[in-house]
Structure 1
Amino acid sequence: MANMTDGSAKFVVVGIDETSESQLALRWAVAAAEARGLGVRVVRAYLNQAVHWPAIDVEGHVPTPPVDEFQAELDAAVAYVRDRLGYDAASGWLAYEPPAEAILTESSDAELVVLGSRVHHRLQAAVLGSVVTSVTARATCPVVVVKGNAHDGPIVVGTDGSEDSEAALEFAFEEAARSHAPLSVVYCWQPSDRHDRAVEDTEALLRNWLAESLEPLRAKFPAVAVRAEVVGGRPATTLAEHAGGASLAVVGSRGRGGVRGLLLGSVSQSLLHSATCPVAVVRNRAAAPGSP
């Protein structure tokens, strides 16, 4: 197990708060770190927004943030990690800054970032959560958003031939090899209602392309059981349907046609909103913000 005290090893970053969702994320992060032989860096960030209220010529009391409570949450999380991975495999940071910024600071040296999600209904899904949105859009390493109940199904990954989807494929194969889970690779396209023969020909070409594009990864990970499909339909909807019962859904940060380094693609956003399993958002490191 990686030693977190020497500062030389990669690690898994997990953001926590007072919610039950962050506890799910913590457990997922510990399991991921154990499978990789890494340590865990726990971040409990807070920012007392009250100190930023305009208070010119206004008398009033600015509440003091409950720092002791935050520290207790952090200490409990670090103790949980040490109990399972060993004392030197855990570290923590109580950060007085916006949570997304604190997690992004740590992500520059991380192997993986893990977050919990509180998306339970349409109103929350519409905004998803500023921390999840900001971190998944800007982190230079893969980000896993833990949501819903744990499943024992396959790992599902979407591909479209873009650089980010190539990175997502590599991540998905690695995860399948570690977990011994089967892998389902899905290429989504939207055929026209006209020219049926042309549609059939196009689909056959896409199947051939998909099979050829997966050959290097199949050779690299020969033990992974892979099912590859070309499916007609909207990518966001189709991937969400395939992710039902999956142990993990994997998608690139932006797909083909997306602006490099900016925000999230529509498919990754939609999957984060609708999937009921953990979702990994993977960015091609060479295209990440701040990359040379």
Structure 2
Amino acid sequence: MSGPVVVGVDGSAAALAAVDAAATEARLRNAELHVVHCFVWPALHVPRGASPLGPPAGGVRESVERMLAEALARAQAAAPGVEASHGVIVGEAVTALETESRTAQLLVVGHRGSDGLIHALLGSTAVHLAAHASCPVMVVRGRPEPAGPVLVAVDGSAQGQSAVAFSFNEAALRGADLAALHAWSTWTDHDKPAPGRPLEIVDLIGDVRELQAAEDRLLAEALSGYRARYPDVTVRPRLVRGRTRSALIEATGGAQLIVVGARGRGGFAGLVLGSVSQAVLHHALCPVIVVRAGLG
């Protein structure tokens, strides 16, 4: 993918952490970093300059300039030499950043904003962008300076395969191992009975050993097409019997990054994101990259 790495800033600590991560991603990709602040006040006709009753550097314009200068300084500290630009966009953050994503290779945001509201909540900036942006979206959250392999959620779906493709490239860029986790249970068998035949308990449970073997094949097949393309990436397949969300969230405690698809198999069409992606955005202990189908 071409284009800059775009990061949204609003002056919050989470946004500055996002700048650090975005600068690192730009350096790894040999890409430009573009720092964006979305500014709604001019649209509301609020004066941009300093108040005549206050200090000369106390205006909105000066505040935004200081914010961007701090962000650019953080970027240079995190990734010395990275080419960086900045821009102020008049408009609401979700719409502006979604537009920026059309020409970006990666969009980076923090998990909470300057208003103190957690942006991983349903309908928030991070969730909306993860579901609708035109490029993969990184939400920076979790413990500081996470280490370990790149972790990818594997489920065999089209969305999941885009995430797998992205994760191999990300692991190669970082010189990291790739931990590929697939969780299964007796409810993940998707063979259906013949039309007209009543559903029986064996259809729901089946032979557990056969189910496990089928899920193991699914994991192997999901990875097989990428191993030859990325021979230097050490892959650690992991088949877990249990709930996907809890298995992934637990695994993020030992990962530097997790990559998930926007939707997996068996999701509900009415959700902007699949339930697994939602849970990871809420609770992961490391940064999250959400990749929609076709964007890996």
Pick the TM interval, shorter chain.
0.7 to 0.9
Secondary structure, in 3 states, of the residue corresponding to 1:167? Answer: helix
TM-score after normalising by structure 1: 0.81
Q: Deviation digits for residues 33-80 of structure 1, max 9, x if unmatched?
A: 00110001111112239949xxxxxxxxxxx98232122212332354
Displacement of 1:24 after TM fit? Answer: 0.8
Displacement of 1:91 after TM fit? Answer: 1.5
Q: Deviation digits for residues 176-196 of structure 1, max 9, x if unmatched?
A: 11112111111112226x878
- For residues 262 and 106 of structure 1, the distance between their equivalents in structure 2, rounded to whole angstroms, comes to 24
Structure 1, unmatched stretches of 5+, are: 1-8, 53-63, 288-292
Secondary structure, in 3 states, of the residue corresponding to 1:244? Answer: helix
Closer/same/farther in 2, CA of residues 276 and 218 from structure 1, 3 Å limit: same
Task: Name the structure 1 match of 2:53.
Answer: none
Which of 13, 23, 33 is matched with 1:40 structurally? 33
Task: Name the structure 1 match of 2:54.
Answer: none
Task: Name the structure 2 match of 1:132.
Answer: 126
Q: Is the 8 A contact 1:140 1:285 kept in 2?
A: no
- For residues 24 and 161 of structure 2, the distance between their equivalents in structure 1, rounded to whole angstroms, comes to 25
AA matched with 1:109 = T
Which of 183, 191, 201 is matched with 1:188 structurally? 183
- For residues 119 and 253 of structure 2, the distance between their equivalents in structure 1, rounded to whole angstroms, comes to 17
Displacement of 1:200 after TM fit? Answer: 1.5
AA matched with 2:13 = S
- For residues 139 and 45 of structure 1, the distance between their equivalents in structure 2, rounded to whole angstroms, comes to 16
- For residues 133 and 152 of structure 1, the distance between their equivalents in structure 2, rounded to whole angstroms, comes to 24
Q: Is the 8 A contact 1:78 1:90 kept in 2?
A: yes
Q: Is the 8 A contact 1:254 1:260 kept in 2?
A: no
- For residues 165 and 24 of structure 2, the distance between their equivalents in structure 1, rounded to whole angstroms, comes to 20
Closer/same/farther in 2, CA of residues 36 and 143 from structure 1, 3 Å limit: same
Q: Matched residue pairs, number?
A: 263
AA matched with 1:150 = E
- For residues 23 and 254 of structure 1, the distance between their equivalents in structure 2, rounded to whole angstroms, comes to 28
Which of 188, 198, 204 is matched with 2:207 structurally? 198
Displacement of 1:127 after TM fit? Answer: 2.1
1:28-177 mapped onto 2 (5 Å cutoff): 28-48=21-41, 51=44, 66-81=60-75, 84=79, 86=81, 89-118=83-112, 124=118, 127=121, 130-148=124-142, 149-177=144-172
Task: Name the structure 2 match of 1:271.
Answer: 280
- For residues 133 and 42 of structure 2, the distance between their equivalents in structure 1, rounded to whole angstroms, comes to 24
- For residues 46 and 145 of structure 1, the distance between their equivalents in structure 2, rounded to whole angstroms, comes to 21
Q: Is the 8 A contact 1:110 1:141 kept in 2?
A: yes
Q: Is the 8 A contact 1:12 1:111 kept in 2?
A: yes
- For residues 119 and 34 of structure 2, the distance between their equivalents in structure 1, rounded to whole angstroms, comes to 28
Displacement of 1:209 after TM fit? Answer: 2.8
- For residues 292 and 214 of structure 2, the distance between their equivalents in structure 1, rounded to whole angstroms, comes to 27
Q: Deviation digits for residues 11-52 of structure 1, max 9, x if unmatched?
A: 100011111111111011111100110001111112239949
Displacement of 1:126 after TM fit? Answer: 7.2
TM-score after normalising by structure 2: 0.80
Q: Percent identity of the aligned residues? A: 39
- For residues 208 and 116 of structure 1, the distance between their equivalents in structure 2, rounded to whole angstroms, comes to 36
Q: Deviation digits for residues 96-135 of structure 1, max 9, x if unmatched?
A: 211111111111000101111139xxx9477267211111
Displacement of 1:206 after TM fit? Answer: 1.5
Closer/same/farther in 2, CA of residues 236 and 91 from structure 1, 3 Å limit: same
Closer/same/farther in 2, CA of residues 158 and 126 from structure 1, 3 Å limit: closer
Task: Name the structure 1 match of 2:19.
Answer: 26
Secondary structure, in 3 states, of the residue corresponding to 1:285? Answer: coil
Closer/same/farther in 2, CA of residues 136 and 212 from structure 1, 3 Å limit: closer
- For residues 125 and 143 of structure 1, the distance between their equivalents in structure 2, rounded to whole angstroms, comes to 14
Closer/same/farther in 2, CA of residues 280 and 126 from structure 1, 3 Å limit: closer
Q: Is the 8 A contact 1:128 1:273 kept in 2?
A: no
- For residues 76 and 213 of structure 1, the distance between their equivalents in structure 2, rounded to whole angstroms, comes to 42
Q: Is the 8 A contact 1:191 1:233 kept in 2?
A: no
Secondary structure, in 3 states, of the residue corresponding to 2:151? Answer: strand
Secondary structure, in 3 states, of the residue corresponding to 1:204? Answer: helix
